[in-house]
Amino acid sequence: MFTPKYPTPDTAPAQSTITPQTVAPAPVAATVPAPAPVAPAAPAMVAARPTVQLTPGSTLALVGGGAAVVLVVGAVLVSMLLAVAITAMSVAVCALVVKSLINQQGK
């Protein structure tokens, strides 16, 4: 049950030797490639950085995402605080019960 099951090895057909056909290369005409376009040089003091352009839709998405993160983190923190408060109350009740039992035993 816990032993690994390995897949069967590939059963690809054996490669046969195919003799390549020789074809005479076609004559190539000598052409001069066009020069590549050159990007304008950036000023020496300013580093070239890509700019982020925010559209109204992307701004709305960022605000909505941030609000969702704040709500989720807030809900988690509130639930943790509530768990601590409930635990503290139950420990306090247990302490009162134990104290009451000890006082009754002494009488």
What residue type is 1 in one-letter code? M
Of 104 and 50, the one with more pLDDT? 104
Distance in angstroms (rounded) separating the CA atoms of residues 95 and 19: 92
Q: Residue 20: its pLDDT value, please? A: 63
Q: Residue 49: its pLDDT value, please? A: 77
Distance in angstroms (rounded) separating the CA atoms of residues 54 and 67: 18
CB 81 within 8 A of CB 89: no
3-state secondary structure the chain: CCCCCCCCCCCCCCCCCCCCCCCCCCCCCCCCCCCCCCCCCCCCCCCCCCCCCCCHHHHHHHHHHHHHHHHHHHHHHHHHHHHHHHHHHHHHHHHHHHHHHHHHHHC
pLDDT in tens, 63-104: 999 999 999 999 999 999 999 999 999 999 999 999 999 998
- Per-residue pLDDT at 44 exceeds 60: no
